[in-house]
Structure formats: structure tokens, C-alpha cells
A and B are shown apart, each in its own frame.
Chain A
Amino acid sequence: MDPARFTRVDATTWRIEPYGAMRVPAIIYADEELIRAMDDKVGEQAINVAMLPGIVQASYAMPDAHWGYGFPIGGVAAFDPDRGGVVSAGGVGFDISCGVRTILTGLKVADILPIQQVLADSLYRQIPAGVGSKGAITLDDIELDAMLVGGAQWAIERGWGDPRDLERIEEQGRMAGAKPAYVSHRAKERQRREMGTLGSGNHYFEVQAVAQIFDAKVAETFGLAKDDVVVTIHCGSRGLGHQIGSEFLKEMVVAAGASGIALPDRELACAPINSEVGQRYLGAMRAGINCALANREILGHYARRIFAYFFPNHELRLLFDVSHNTCKVEPHVVNGKRRDLFIHRKGATRAFGPGHESLPAALRPIGQPVLIGGSMGTGSYILVGETTGEQKAFSSACHGAGRALSRHAALKQWSGRKIMDELAGQGILIRSPSTRGVAEEAPGAYKDVGAVVIAAEHAGLARRAARLRPLICVKG
């Protein structure tokens, strides 16, 4: 995008004042280079979101923002139900509650290196990933509904998890207000055999090493030291979330028209929060969140089982689990008043600063771990939420590197086999059923995750605690 389209507030804050049908400004947090690299559609989509009824304060885009559906990916917007605010299926996205969890292993890089190949093969064989993979779990109707209400708590009760994980998962592992009755039969059918599967695309299961510490005190509180090994899992609500998203998108196009909401883009399909469709979507979407939380808990359990085979005396402890595609009711202070707002984060991470009441006692003095997935070659970051994030973007931060090139362009530029060989030369083992899939997810197809997290830090959204480099990456 041309930076001249924006008013530059400071080095990482770019603003478009309301014009036309915009109700609030659009604000993008990024440095000038990231702004220049963003597609014009990011600005257009942030402006479109600013036109929706009941939006509060501003339509935000994070430093990793890219062209999405209706909302930009990396978009954040808050809506007030008492002022005609809406909930948008497009604003949550198809992969409801897609997110990341990072698990501490208590191991060092030197422990992994002698068994790196065999561990990679073992993970690839045992973590169901990609089209055609088969999960080990089949749920009947009663168990499906119990999962949709219980989330990670349900998984733990069934023996697929550790109760100590719950305080390290958003909503303590169980999203309240889930209504399985509002989830269609087709959505449930898509999920019946999908629990404990990774999916494909940008989803991954990685074994990573702590490569760099930026903040010693935060890293120590998080349990991270240089050369420690962690496991990071990126996936979401699988077929169920996609089906809920698709079905409500269609219904909300009609509902928006019936409510007199002029949609600047059909993908922004929405309904008033205080409407029958809005409430039904919220009930189904919250069930989708629980599905994602249960799925990541089960995959975490698989990680524990596989690591226990190689390292019987090491315990895997969850550092944190964050969700990226959600709409959640949160209290926020606007113009000095505390209001319950419906915060849409579409490809953005909740990033609570120190002292937040929802954080467990061990993390509260420091702030929330904010887990940022990079590409398989360049690594990932662990950030910590900042108090300033509340005013900046309702305590939100970026979620990944963000794509710089389309899959189409990546495929033209790289060979998957060559990338796997090059990364193996750097000590990074890739396991995937498809070399084409690897090419589409090539490290060069993503933005510089380092620049993204520095921009987030300068903008006061979250600050860097540690950088991780991949050792093993399983992709679907």
C-alpha cells in the first residue's frame, strides 16, 4: 500500500480518518516497509470494517495483516451490543478458534539431536495430518455435543490431556455459552472422525529450540532458557468450524439485508448481536471454539505420549494456548468507562498485559504469553502482553508472519523437495505427505516475522520474550 494514503501518527501507527460510510477511523500498526508490502486490499478491508454498525473506537489491523475475507487477516474490531453492534461470521473466519499452543519439554537441544530423525519420523507417523489422514477418535452424537460444550475440559475428562493445562488455556479450556443445538448436523458430521487431527495448509506440529532470549525475567517466568526444546502446535476447529462459518456466512448475508445493514462486501455478512441469528451464531461459534480447544488438547496429549517413549522421565507442561479466530465478550475501558464489548479477532492474538484478572497467578505479574508462528524456516516468537495494548487495540497483537506471496506465486518460485533438502542442511527436518504443500508454505512466501514482531513491540501491543527456531516440522 502507498503510505501516503494514511496519516502517520508515529513510526508504527497509520490512520485513515472516517469518510463516507465509515463510523470510526481505520488504524494499522506496522512499520513503513510492512505497510508498503501490504496489498491495497488490507486498507480497503479495514475501511469496510469501520462501516459496520456499533463498531467502537476504530477498525484495527495488526503488523502481519494481509488480504482476507471481509475482515483483513490480522483485523481486530469491537462492537457494542447496546449500540446496534453486530457479530460477523466473516469477522471470525472459517477456521474458528484456530490457534497455537506451546508446550515446555524440559529437554535441551543436545537431548534431541541424537534422535532427531527417528523422533521426526515417529511424529509424522503418529500425528494425523493432511487430507486423507485418519484420526483415532470417532464420536457419537452424545459425545460430540459433550465435546462442543466441554472443550479441553472434555478432552481431559476422557483421558486425553492434563488437568494442569486448563489454567494455561484461554477461558480455562472451556468457552461458556456454547450451544451444540445451533451447530448443524452437517457440521457435526464433518467433525465426527476429525478430533486429534492437525489439518493442512499453514497448520503444523513443530519441535523448536529457544534460540534467543530478549527479556530474561519474562523468559524465566515462562520457563524458557536458551537451547530449551519446546513443542508448538498450530491448528483449529477443523471441518466443524469451516462448516459453521460457511453456513452462517450464507445466512448472515440475508440477515444483514433484513436488518437494514448495507454491506460494503458480502463477506462482511453479519447480524445484530441482539438478534435471533446473532445469538444463534454466537452459540454455534462458541461450540466451534470448544472444538478447537479440545483438538489442541488431544494433539498435546499425543505429543506427551510420543515424547514419553523417547524420554520417559520428562514431563511436558503447557506454557500457553492462544486462539486467533474468535469473537469474545470482554470488558474494556472506552472513554473512561468499562463496557462489555464483542471483540472480533480475525488472525489476531489476544494479548493481555500484566495484572489481567484472567491470567493464572504465576503469569499475572508478567503478562500473557503471546505465541507467534513464523514460517518453517525462519522460526517463531514468544511475546508477552503489554498494558499499553489495552488502549492500542483492545489487548490484541499479531498472530504470525503473514503471507507475502500467494500459494500460486510460491509454487512457481520454489520446489518443495529442494526446500526440504536445504532446511535439512540447516538442521530442520520437514515431514509432509506433499512436496507441493511444502513449496506453497516455503519460508520465502512469508513476511519477515522478525520485522512483524518488532513492529508489534514498537506499537506497544506486545514485546518480545524469546525467539524459537524449528528442529522438526510436521505439516499436513
Chain B
Amino acid sequence: MSQAAAPIARWEHFPHEADVGVRGFGASAAEAFEQAALALTAVVTRIPIKPMISVAVSCEAPDLELLFVEWLNAVIYEMAVRGMLFGRFVVRLKDTQLAGTLWGEPVDVAHHAPACEPKGATYTALKVAADNDGVWSAACIVDV
């Protein structure tokens, strides 16, 4: 289950017995983070999200992998408290500090038909790394 193949920037879901794995790929760690956030939204709905409202988030963590979990949890938090879905993400990384912008719209149950609600990103199957070709990936299991 993944979006149509793109050169580098893309995302996919991977299986977990009870929940779901999200994985983003990109030319940089920041781009992989952005793509993984798109995978997170796709856990909820496959309907395109209109970039009507922007929300700024920031977080930090002791290392890049823990920062990835913080990033996804920041997106989950904004989804929950604002009742929104996000379809566009920009991430800027400075060491293990992250500044991000999310664009999205309020949830419309009839339109988006949300399948389930992400509860939190976990440290299970957590990996942020670049392969030999310099392609970054960022992945973990999300509790739904």
C-alpha cells in the first residue's frame, strides 16, 4: 500500500499485527519526515486534503529517531485538538530540533470518511537512516 512511485519522495504503510507502520522516503531526513506525515494522514483517509489552514509546530529530542516520533506525535496532537486533517507538510531540521508547518482543513466526516484515529507514534520498528544511495527513510509503528 503506497502512493504511485516517485523518484525519491514517497511514503508507504507496512504491517503490524494490531496497528500500522508508516514510512517516508526522501532526499533528506526532513523530506522523509514530511513523507511519513503524509502516510500518517493516509491511515485516516485517502481523500485529498485541502491546504486551507496552516499550523506551525516545533519539537526536539535527544536523537533523530526520537525526534521523528516527536514530530508524528506533534501532528497527531494538532489533528486531535483542532479536529483537522493535514495534507501538506514542510519540515526544517537543525540537529535534533524541528520546526514544521502543516497545511490542512477541518475534518468533514461525510467527505473524509475517516477510517481510524492515530493515538500515538511508538518506538516500535523505529528507524531513521540513509541508505547507500543517500535516500533517507523514517519509519515507526503508529498506535491506532
Query: A interface vs B, CB < 8 Å?
Result: 39, 41, 66-70, 73, 94-95, 130-134, 186, 189-190, 192, 199-201, 239, 242-243, 245-246, 249-250, 253-254, 265-267, 269, 403, 406-409, 411-412, 433-437, 440, 476
Q: Across chains A and B, which 7 residue pairs bring their CB atoms closest together, nearest first?
A: A132-B107, A131-B114, A406-B15, A408-B15, A437-B115, A436-B115, A242-B119
Q: Give the chain B neighbours of A132 by CB distance below 8 A.
A: 83, 107-109, 112, 114
Which of B30-38, B93-101, B120-128 makes up part of the contact surface? B120-128
Q: Is B80 an interface residue (CB 8 A)?
A: yes
Query: For the complex, what is the distance from the CA of A41 to the CA of B16, rounded to whole Å?
Result: 11
CB distance from B4 to the nearest CB of A (A): 18
Contact residue among B14, B18, B80, B123 (Cβ-Cβ distance under 8 Å from A267) = B123
Residues on B with C-beta less than 8 A from A436 are: 46, 113, 115
> If the complex has contacts A131-B107, A436-B113, A476-B117, are A407 and B124 also in contact, measured as CB distance less than 8 A?
no
Task: Give complex CA distance A351, B24 in Å.
Answer: 42
On whether A131 and B117 interact (CB within 8 A), knowing A69-B122, A69-B141, A201-B144, the answer reads: yes
Given A266, A409, A440, which contacts B123 in the complex, CB threshold below 8 Å?
A: A266
Task: Give complex CA distance A249, B77 in Å.
Answer: 16
**Cα–Cα distance between A120 and B108 once the two chains are bound (Å):** 22
Verify A201–B117 contact, CB threshold 8 A. Answer: yes
> A239–B116 contact, CB under 8 A?
no
Other-chain contact of B70, A130, A134, A250 (Cβ < 8 Å)? A250
Residues of chain B within 8 A of A267, CB atoms compared: 122-124
Contact of A200 among B14, B19, B116 (CB under 8 A): B116
Q: Which chain A positions have C-beta within 8 A of B124?
A: 69-70, 267
Contact of A433 among B14, B113, B121 (CB under 8 A): B113
Q: How large is the interface on B (under 10, 10 to 19, 20 to 34, 35 or more residues)?
A: 35 or more
The reply to whether A189 and B108 form a contact with Cβ atoms under 8 Å apart is no
- B17 close to A250 (CB less than 8 A): no
**Which single residue of chain B is at the shortest CB-CB distance from A199?**
B117
On whether the beta carbons of A242 and B120 are closer than 8 Å, the reply is yes
Minimal beta-carbon separation of A142 from chain B (angstroms) = 19
Minimum CB–CB distance for B128 against chain A, Å: 13
A69-B15 Cα distance, complex, nearest whole Å: 14
Flag if A67 contacts B108 (CB, 8 Å): no
Interface centre among B14, B109, B119 (most CB of A within 10 A): B119
Distance of B132 from chain A, by nearest CB (Å): 26
**Contact of A254 (CB < 8 Å), options: B62, B76, B108:** B62
How far apart are the CA atoms of A476 and B44 in the complex, in Å? 12
Chain A residues with Cβ below 8 Å from B19 are: 407
Closest residue of A by beta carbon distance from B122 = A69
Residues of A within 8 A of B1 (CB): 408, 411-412
Query: CB distance B122 to A434 under 8 Å?
Result: no
Q: Are A406 and B144 in contact (CB under 8 A)?
A: no
Closest to A42 in B: B17
Within 8 Å by CB of A73, from B18, B61, B119, B126, lies B18
- CB contact between A190 and one of B46, B81, B109 (< 8 Å): that residue: B81
A411 to B61, CA, bound (A): 34
Most B-side CB within 10 Å, residue of A39, A68, A134, A245: A68
Partner of B81, one of A134, A189, A412: A189
A316 to B37, CA, bound (A): 44
CA distance A69 to B126 in the complex (A): 11
Q: Nearest-CB distance from B15 to chain A (Å)? A: 4
B142 to chain A, nearest CB (A): 10
Chain A residue with the shortest CB-CB distance to B126 = A266
| Distance, CA A239 to CA B113, complexed state (A) | 20
Q: B20 at the A/B interface (Cβ < 8 Å)?
A: yes
Give B32 Cβ to nearest chain A Cβ, in Å: 20
Tell whether, in the assembled complex, residue B17 and residue A66 are in contact, meaning their CB atoms are under 8 Å apart: yes
B73 CB-CB contact with A under 8 Å = yes
Asked if B10 is at the interface of the complex by the 8 Å CB criterion, the answer is: no
Q: A94-B119, A243-B77, A437-B116 are in contact. List 14 more A-B contacts (CB 8 A).
A: A131-B107, A132-B83, A199-B117, A242-B76, A242-B119, A249-B123, A250-B61, A253-B123, A266-B126, A267-B123, A407-B116, A408-B20, A409-B15, A476-B116
Known: A406-B16, A408-B14. A433 touches B114 (CB 8 A): yes
Q: Which residues of A contact B15 (CB under 8 A)?
A: 406-409
Q: A69-B123, A94-B120, A250-B70 are in contact. Are A407 and B113 (CB under 8 A)?
A: no
Interface string of B6-30 (1 = CB under 8 A from A): 0000000111111110000000000
Min CB–CB distance A61 → chain B (angstroms): 13
Q: Which residues of B sit under 8 angstroms from A189, Cβ to Cβ?
A: 81
| Smallest CB separation, A434 vs chain B (Å) | 4
